Amino acid sequence: MSEEYQGTRFVTAFQERRPPSHPFVPVLCHWCRVFHERGFAPPYPGGSSGNLSFRVAADAFIITGTAIGLKDNLAADALVEVVDCDFAAGVVTVCGQRQPSSEAMLHALLYRHFPTVGAVFHGHHALITSQAERFGLPVSRVALPYGSIALAEAALTLARRGDFFVLRDHGFVATGVDMAACGALCLDWLRKIQNIHH
Q: Which residues bind Zn ion (CB under 5 A)?
A: 171
**Closer residue to Zn ion, CB minimum distance, 19 or 31:** 31
**Closer residue to Zn ion, CB minimum distance, 28 or 173:** 173
Helix extents (H) in 116-165: 126-131, 149-159
CB of 103 to Zn ion, least distance (A): 6
CB of 170 to Zn ion, least distance (A): 6
What burial letters (b/e) apply to 42-76, b meaning 16+ CB within 10 Å? bbeeebbbbbbbbbbeeebbbbbbbbbbbeeebeb
Q: How far is CA 191 from each of CA 104, 195, 197, 198, rounded to the nearest angstrom? A: 27, 6, 10, 11
**Closer residue to Zn ion, CB minimum distance, 138 or 171:** 171
The residue nearest Zn ion at its CB is: 171
CB of 21 to Zn ion, least distance (A): 27
**Closer residue to Zn ion, CB minimum distance, 19 or 49:** 49
Rounded-to-5 percentages of helix, strand, coil across the chain: 35, 25, 45
CB of 1 to Zn ion, least distance (A): 7
